[in-house]
Amino acid sequence: LVVANKEENREIDVRRLREADVNVWVTHIETVPEAIASMRRLFEALGWGEPEWLTDVAERWASTVPTYAHVAVPIWRDPWMVVGQSTFTGDLLARLGCANVFGGSAQRYPKADPKDFDRDDVLVLLPDEPYVFSEEDGPEVFDRARTQLVSGRLITWYGPSLLEARDLTFGERRP
């Protein structure tokens, strides 16, 4: 069985795998609940039963946190691109209490000029994937916005990492 994602994998590759009699499970995930439901369906289809970690994930993500931070999440540099609307990352961050500055964008991953979100009220989350932001590559662009390096695995992938991701905090939560 090959697990593919509609956004990450090409349709022609999925078709070729299926033509070669390889079972392919294609996901299209934009929210944490969709991720949990998809994983549950996958384990059920495989006849494996729900793993304990997935039950824990569902319980831990059943509630949301009130909004306490405004964030921008670059995913690429040259050109700068950020997390926009209708993305798994955006939904995950919203459930952690973070309002995505680009959540109202018409695109899922719009190009953006860092000057447009270099503001005192924005926390720029710099993940280590798909682009590898680091202490030396990313924070130096921002004069006003606070920056925080973050594990891309925790904010962009679903699976057992959702257990650890639930404990993420960015900046200080307001009472």
In whole angstroms, what is the distance from residue 129 CA to residue 110 CA? Answer: 17
- pTM here is 0.89
In tens, the pLDDT along 139-153 reads: 999 999 999 999 999
Supply the pLDDT for residue 170.
86
Predicted pLDDT at 174 = 43
pLDDT of residue 65: 87
Q: Which residues of the chain have pLDDT under 50?
A: 174-175
